[in-house]
Structure 1
Amino acid sequence: MSDITLYELPGCPFCAKVRTKLDELELDYDVIEVPRSREERTEVERVSGQTGVPVITDESEGVEGMHESDDIVDYLEETYA
C-alpha cells in the first residue's frame, strides 16, 4: 500500500492529468475508482468533504482530501520533483 492514493473516475481528463504527473514523477500510488453517480461517492466525500474528482491523499505528508487537478499537480511538483 502506497502513501499516495488517487480517487478518480475513468475517462475524467482532470484525473488523467494528475495520473500523468504521478507517473512522470515515478511515484507509487494506489487508485480508487469512484462510482459515476455522485450520490454513491461516499468514500471520496468522507475523505475530501466533496464528491468531485480527482482527489489525493498523501499520508507521508499529512495531506487528506486535496482536490482540484491544478492544485494537486502543483503540490506534486513542489513536494516530489
Structure 2
Amino acid sequence: MKVVRIVLGQLILLLNAIFSPKSLKRSDEDQQEVEESLKGIKLYQFDACPFCVKVRRAAKRLNLPLQTIDAKQAEHEEALINGGGKRKVPCLRIEEASGDVTWMYESNDIIAYLEQRYAN
C-alpha cells in the first residue's frame, strides 16, 4: 500500500507541474499589499496530498505566495496538533493583527476564504 501511495503522490505532483494554473495579474502596489497581508498566514500541508495540491493550485491561481509548512516534520506536526487540535492537512493558520489565531481545515473552506479575501 505504501508503494501505491508513493507512486500516486509522485503522479499527482507531476500532473500538477504540467498543468499549473495561470496566476492572477495585479498592479505592483496591489501585489505588495497582498503579500504583506499574507505574513500572518501559513499553510500546513504535505507535498503529495491531493487536497493540499488543490489549495496550492488555488493560491497560485490567485497569485498568493503562501508560506507552506511541511506537517510531516515533528516540530511542525506538534504545532499543528497543539494549535489546531488535530493532525490533518491542509490546514490554514491565520493570525490576525490582533493576535487572534484561527486554524482552518478542509480544502474547500480554505479556498473559499482565499477567494473571498483575495480574488478582487
TM-score bucket (shorter structure): 0.7 to 0.9
Aligned length: 79
Letter in 2 for 1:53: V
Pairs within 5 Å for 1:38-57: 41-57=77-93
Percent identity between matched residues is 35
2:57 to 1, 20, 34: 20
| Aligned counterpart in structure 1 of residue 106 of structure 2, from 50, 68, 79 | 68
Shift of 1:36: 7.7
Greater RCO structure (CA 8 Å; 6+ sep): 1
Richer in strand (by share): 1
Aligned-residue CA RMSD (Å): 2.4
> Based on CA coordinates, which of the two structures has the bigger radius of gyration?
2
TM-score relative to the length of structure 2 = 0.57
Structure 1: runs of 5 or more not aligned: none
Indicate the structure with greater helix content. Answer: 2
